[in-house]
A and B are shown apart, each in its own frame.
Chain A
Amino acid sequence: MTRYLLRRLLQAVGVLWAAYTATFLILWALPGDPVRILAGSDATDLSDAQLDALRHELGLDRPLWLQYVDGIGQVLRGDLGRSIGSGRPVADLLAAALPSTLQITALGIVLAVLGGTGVAIAATLTRSRVLARVLLALPPVGVAVPGFWFGLLLIQWFSFQLRWLPALGDKTWTAAILPSIALALPSGAAIAQLLSKSLATTLREPYVDAVWAKGAGRFRVHFAHALRNAALPALTYTGVIVGGLLSGTVVTETVFSRSGIGRLTATAVTAQDIPIVQGVVLFAALVFVVVSLVVDLLYPLLDPRIRLAGQRSRDRARAAAGARGSASAPSSARAAHSHTELETTGVRP
């Protein structure tokens, strides 16, 4: 376990370095001059000498490699640099923006997981075909609805017409509800799609038939057996969603005028405020690294066949191959068998 964590930690450092380097190169290659943008409308009034002085002050006139090495050194010391625009430390800006994003992300994820799981389970659990079809038609709609439009609709209904909730801002807790719902809709819909598909596949597995044959009812079949087996893909995807939401939800934060990470990113990109953009990218990379580690640590709790603890990758491949080998001969024979049935009579195996 410790070995595994150490290896993952090393990987995380690699990911962070790659993210920093890639952003650095991309920002450098982008057209546009941050100094001119910084000077804004005054830029035309400033002489080239003045612009050069500003460049020098910001360290932008140094050779590229030096800027890169310096930047890395700063990050290693925990210093993300200062915003070109405001001069405030990037770390402070991130810390200030984080709570607002955290609020709606946390609530949004909870709603998405509950809603998505609920719809998926209800759709496979119900005996009514009509209800199942209606429920299964919902997720694609949820995925397709544009976030900003749905956000505006929410504001229109709940703030302007019903006057239940505040429309904008992030001063109060209640202001987080509408943006959370806006975030939860596409995420929850995606979770519902994945989980219902995975549940349907799982429910066709022979071991589910074996559970029915014990005399189990549908609730036991679903909650004691199928759900846990079907949860892996949905868990993986939930991890991706959490990462995506935490590292900034530009559209939702803009629509609801919240000053979170997403807004910070949007502003920084427009202004070519390189230190901020780099800070945000590093933060996002960190979030993803942590989230995927958490998800990977959850896997073996859900499925005992997945093992982590400090295995050499070769071992793991071997074990996987072995597991496949031992399972594949009979199971492929089974596949072949049921197939033959299908061939000769067209019967569903």
Chain B
Amino acid sequence: MSATTQQDLAGISTGSEASADVADTASAPLLEVDRLAVHYRGRDGGVIEAVREVSLSIAPGETLAVVGESGSGKSTTAQAIVQLLAPGARIAAGSLRFRGEDLATASRRRLRQLRGVGIGFVPQDPTVSLDPVKRIGAQVAETLLIHGLADRRSAPARAVESLGRAGLPDPELQATRYPHELSGGMRQRVLIAIAIAAEPPLIVADEPTSALDVTVQRQILDQLDRLRAAGTALLLITHDLGVAADRADRILVLSEGRVVEEGSPAQILGSPRHEYTRRLIAAAPSIAAQRGSGLERHRLPVATLAALTTGGVGDPFVERTGARASERPGEPRHEGAPGADAAAGFDEILRLEGVTKAFPLPRSLGGGEQLAVDDVTLAVPRAGTLAIVGESGSGKSTTARIALRLEPADAGRVLLDGVDVSAARGGELRRLRRRVQLVHQNPYAALNPRWSVETIVTDPLAAHGLGTRRQRRDRAAALLDAVALPSRALTRRAAELSGGQRQRVAIARALALGPELLVLDEPVSALDVSIQAQVLALLADLQAELGVSYLFISHDLAVVRQIADTVAVLQRGRLVEQGDVDTVFSSPVADYTRELLAAIPGTRFAGPADGSSRSGTGPSGTGPSGTSPSHATPPDAIPASDTPGASR
């Protein structure tokens, strides 16, 4: 087999600097998965084939990215490698050879010996993957203690050292803290420290950054790159083709439990052979980051549009929908509504002026106050989209809650259509609710799973006592049509729907009252890329057809670029940049914006869309990205493009 000879080379080249352990077995691939199949027992007694036929191989020191959407079997493959499959799952066929030893048939005892020392595992979600009642240091030291690599006296120091290697600042202090006292990014570094504590030759990382902000994601991935430079092989599971393209030597694309394509990043992104890969690339916002790009446009059926925008005589919903015209004669415009800043050169539906919000800090942290939102002024264009971008803790959600009048601002004003609504109460506030609606981040938590879709969609109408039962049902049907769901979905329960369908229902519910403004709080971040692209396209269509304005909250700049007209960048509660989306993306003014743009993954092959170069932070730091696939490859490793599908 040609693959073997190549792994020979790879093994020899890394063996010179890696531990003797690796050199011993360098003649074989480190891990070889051969026609793996994993089956689950379904709830109805049937069998679910999560992994049908997956073969892969990793040479020492190599990084292999496994890419796919939810349900592609990528996480199950990772779990099978560490033999930590969920209850009810079993390996139905195939073998997993780690240094020639089949993990599928290994004894529990042998697996215990291999885990941690042979294969390190970095789990998916840092916020739930550390024991909440144990100190960080103890959790890192545990791996060493289990395997007798350190005793009780030397383990703490080794743990601190491992935390340092994982890039955690101030490791001595962090080792004495509890997980809840650390941020998500720091916790992910702790998990990496746990995985590398015993210096295993292979690390399996299951979506190690999908729960993190882009800039943190970049730091974590840089850290993993550094490990690779030290000779550790990495199996990187990710849904993000951009991340895979930036970091991997080879990419494996998984769909429905099968490998559909394998190759170097340049091959996969440059000339994808499989239809599924092409779809994935087209849908990936980080790669196709242009406004409207990748968003297929559909026009609403005329009848639907008519049902939603104009009401006949006696239409109970007409008041609001009819009054959405740009002019609202009866209402006095507030003085000073047109702001002086650059972004206010358009007709605006919502304006926040000098909005400030502080939260008291716990006494244990010294008390005082934390400014969540600090003197933020921004405006949402009528029938357009303002995106608020920022990392977690930047105050974007608080800003949205203030705009919705769910949270009172400490200072500043909220102007809806030029009218100050910051002090609206009672009935006035209720009327306001008809004009501004919210779509939540998580469609799984935002819908009552036991309610039918009809009940959910008509709930706001019932709450405002609009229309008869029959009229409401008709409107629900029209709304479902508008969000491209079949009307038979009306009788389904929310729990029976997929994520994308649920978010459509949530959008339909938000549109039920015919609002002028939708506040969309990370509306696509819980969805797969292809679903994400569909929902974004739907939002663009609805805006074009219904003229509804969006306040779009997102941490994902790539998504923002596709949907927004103007963008406001928040950092620690302060507005650091605001302006037209193309201007902000092509010539960012604030350092922070540049940093955010540079952290978008997928720039390695998409070309310098952001116009800035990636600044390397370590020995394997990524230089200005051309099309060279080996920019982050250790110099002594073989070029990734020379490694064909090893066992296919």
Q: B48, A345: Cβ atoms under 8 Å?
A: yes
Contacts of A334 in B (CB 8 A): 124-125, 127-128, 211
Cβ of A329 and Cβ of B441 under 8 Å apart?
yes
Please report A residues at the B interface, Cβ cutoff 8 Å: 205-207, 209-217, 220, 224-225, 228-229, 302-305, 307, 309-312, 314-316, 318-319, 322-323, 326-327, 329-337, 339-341, 343-349
B211 touches which one: A220, A303, A333 (CB < 8 A)?
A333
Q: Which of A215, A228, A312, A345 contacts B115 (CB 8 A)?
A: A215
> Closest residue of chain A to B183, judged by CB?
A326
A215 CB to nearest B CB, Å? 4
A349 and B444 contacting across the interface, CB-CB below 8 Å: no
**Shortest distance from the beta carbon of A63 to any chain B beta carbon, whole Å:** 47
Task: Among A220, A314, A332, A343, point to the contact of B498 (Cβ < 8 A).
Answer: A343
CA distance A186 to B161 in the complex (A): 50
- 4 nearest CB pairs, A to B: A344-B71, A330-B211, A336-B526, A213-B121
Chain B residues whose CB sits within 8 angstroms of the CB of A323 once the complex forms: 180
Q: Which residues of B contact A348 (CB under 8 A)?
A: 40, 86-89
**Nearest chain B CB to A325's CB is how many angstroms away?**
8
Task: Give the docked Cα–Cα distance between A347 and B86 (Å).
Answer: 9
Q: Is the CB of B115 within 8 A of A307?
A: no
Hey, which chain B residues are within 8 Å of A205, CB to CB? 128
Q: Bound state CA distance, A339 and B71, in angstroms?
A: 10
Main SS at interface, chain B: loop
Q: Does B399 contact A (CB under 8 A)?
A: no
Residue of A nearest to B531 (CB): A340
Which one of B86, B131, B147, B527 lies within 8 Å of A215 (CB-CB)? B147
Q: Which residue of A lies closest to B40 (CB)?
A: A347
Additional A-B contacts beyond A213-B82, A213-B195, A215-B147 (7; CB < 8 A): A211-B142, A213-B123, A228-B133, A312-B363, A326-B393, A332-B442, A340-B526
A207 & B143 in contact (Cβ 8 Å cutoff): no
Least Cβ distance of B341 to chain A in Å? 30
| Interchain nearest-CB distance for B392 vs A (Å) | 6
Chain B residues near A (Cβ < 8 Å): 40, 42-43, 48, 50, 70-71, 73, 75-76, 82, 84, 86-89, 111-117, 120-121, 123-134, 142-143, 146-147, 178, 180, 183-184, 191, 194-195, 207, 210-212, 359-360, 362-364, 392-393, 441-445, 498-499, 525-528
Closest to A323 in B: B180
Contacts of B124 in A (CB 8 A): 206, 334, 337
Q: How far is the CA of A124 from the CA of B76 in the complex (A)?
A: 24
- In the docked arrangement, what's the CA distance between A307 and B207, Å? 32
Q: Is the CB of A336 within 8 A of B129?
A: no
Residues of B within 8 A of A329 (CB): 211, 392, 441
A315 CB, min distance to chain B CBs, angstroms: 5
Q: Is A305 within 8 A of B43, CB to CB?
A: no
Note all chain A residues with C-beta closer than 8 A to B127: 326-327, 330-331, 334
Residues of A within 8 A of B210 (CB): 333, 337
Q: Whole-angstrom distance from the CB of A206 to the nearest CB of chain B?
A: 5
Within the complex, what minimum Cβ distance (angstroms) separates B73 from chain A?
8
Give the nearest-CB partner of A209 in chain B.
B84
B residues less than 8 Å from A217 (CB atoms): 112, 146
Q: Which residue of B lies closest to A216 (CB)?
A: B146
Q: Are B128 and A311 in contact (CB-based, < 8 A)?
A: no
Question: Which A-chain residue is minimally distant from B85 (CB atoms)?
Answer: A348
Minimum C-beta distance from A36 to chain B (A) = 57
A314–B393 alpha-carbon span in the complex (Å) = 20
Docked Cα-Cα span, A206 to B86, in Å, equals: 11
CB distance from B141 to the nearest CB of A (A): 10
B126 to chain A: which residues have CB within 8 Å?
330
Question: Which A residues touch B499, using CB under 8 A?
Answer: 336, 339-340, 343
Q: How far is the CA of A303 from the CA of B178 in the complex (A)?
A: 10
Cβ-defined partner of A206 (8 Å) among B50, B128, B180, B184: B128
Residues of B within 8 A of A331 (CB): 125, 127-128
Pick the contact of A210: B76, B88, B121, B526 (CB < 8 A). B121
Contacts of B50 in A (CB 8 A): 345, 347
Residue in A216, A229, A307 whose beta carbon sits within 8 Å of that of B142 in the complex: A216
B112 touches A216 (CB 8 A): yes
| Residues of chain A lying within 8 A (CB to CB) of residue B212 | 330
**Given contacts A304-B133, A331-B125, A346-B42, are A340 and B71 in contact (CB under 8 A)?**
yes
| Chain A neighbourhood of B360, CB < 8 A | 314-315, 318
